[in-house]
Structure 1
């Protein structure tokens, strides 16, 4: 059946007033705090369309089968809640916490789940008894498929949740934590998993036509019997054994899909001419998606080069220029970038675990004509676990939500550095 929510003939949802919601929330708070007069927030098969429930603590609430389409639930706590077969279409659930909740058969079509928490949530198919005229029909059941079509789940934390069989067509999971999620049999066509953490996720028997995993972390992920035609894995971090198993199934894999078949060194030489001639001759290097692993490009001028989604593990770039280069989602794990000039470069979502960036210049690029114009090096959500940044210039660098755990930042210049949401666990700075 199509997952679009269907309501049964003859059944009317009772509309809930704002006053009832406020009173129920007050009693629920008393219950949570263990005070006299408390009662569970329970609206089963009710009409709460457009209700404003933002920031409320509704832990353990029961909203089974209710309509909450277009409701406002920003920052609402719904941990362990019973949300079985609820309708959250076009609802705003930004930063809401639905961890360990029962979301079987839920509709979140077009819902905003930006930075929501759904850890260990149950988002599988629901089976409901069919009613006519208020009476159940014997041995008649309705299977309700969870629907997250076109949902926005950017930066959401759904680790270890169960989403087998769910519809998530064209959903946006950019930068989401989906580690260990069970997606078996889900329809993920057109979904976006850019930069997502999908370590250990089970995507067996999924439909992945046109799905993007660009820059996603897919170590230990399972793709048994998945339909992979036109799926995009450029810049994804995957074991070589998995890449081998997926080859020949219609997907674009890491290290594939470069626009030019010319040898890398020819492109680099032409690029140097292009830079020296200010674009009047030569050609700008486009190494996007190419396999550069193990190459040595020390001292090369790669200013403004395109290197996004390239596989460049153990690439040696000692003393090279990467000024204003595009290295989004590039895999530079264990690469040598000692002394590189990367002012103004784009390293967003780049994989730099174990990379050697000692004495690298990742500071501000200042305009010669307009001193007030400055371009920072961008490393938002870059992974720099155990990277060597000793003595690096990081003045003004943007490292929002970057993973710097275990990095060596001794003697680094950090004036004006932006570290909002970054993981700095065990960073060595002295």
Structure 2
């Protein structure tokens, strides 16, 4: 049967022997131009012949079809010459133990097929249907399974190292994730919610936008893992995972309610991350990038935020960071006693935030250009002036805070509490301090040129050491108003 099928199918086999095409194919890029031209011509002939014969074979001739596929496998035509057989329906076909290494199987229908122990290393299985297929013990190292349907497939003991599983449907699939090796695997957008990943090797894996809600990461290896925009709410044992947070890509990740206490996050990139209600008390975040992060009701008491960036200064339209927000949301966050030395706080909304006893020496609060040098042009061709986002500090609490040398030029500080705050050498040019509470504050060397002081309370403040404070400004203060009332009566 095998001989008859091959005679019918392959006078082409003589071409393989005479020209030694398999050997040429195995040379890869080392083959010379003449050999590459010969190989390409032969591939076209074999491809056309294969398509013609397989299309003529019906279901009643499945054994002859099997013989031909076996011949293609054994002569390494599929693996070495990368013959594309993806257009054919191999539903329920038995590939047990065969070698399809580097085969082009894009879009192939292998539903219910027996692929136990098959070698599919480096194969192209993009958008393939493997629903209910038996892939037990299969070698899928480096295999491209992007968009493939693996619903109900058996993947027990399969090697998935370096495989591309982006957008793969693993619903009801039989797979043991505990201790699995997924090193350098692409798992973009994959649903791993509630999965037991204890001891799994995810080093270098791409889990961008993956769902890891409630997953158990105890002793999981997450070194150099890409977790950008990953859903990590309720993840278990992340603290017990083998992870270097400084190297991990966590931009846009959902880390709401996570307890970071005791973890060194110096220099970490958390742009756009959701840290709502997270516990960062006493955590080292020196030099961290928190631009566009959600810090609603986050505990930052006593945190080290020296030189931290709270503003997204990256391109607003950059594809890689389209999830980043323009400003960092710190509504209800606790900054009591936090060290914000030289932190970049431009554009941050600090409305009613408690920053008492915090160190803001040299911090920058000024608005930052939102879109670069120029936003664009108007209908007349005139350049549109760049927009600035001013930080909102309405009714923020800076009691006993250290703001020495801080840059607050033009910042809105209406109703802010600055009782006994250290504002030595602070830059307050054009700052709006209307109704601000400055009782007992130290303003030695502070520059108040053009600042709006209407209704501000300067009780117990040494005015002599303040720079550029005019009589007209002083006349608008609450203290001047009360002094005049006392004098008159």
Q: Considering Cα pairs closer than 8 Å and 6+ residues apart, tell me whether 1 or 2 has the greater RCO.
A: 1
Task: Choose between structure 1 and 2: higher strand proportion.
Answer: 1
Question: Normalising by the residue count of structure 1, what TM-score does the alignment of the two structures yield?
Answer: 0.45
* Largest Rg, 1 or 2: 2
Question: Normalising by the residue count of structure 2, what TM-score does the alignment of the two structures yield?
Answer: 0.40
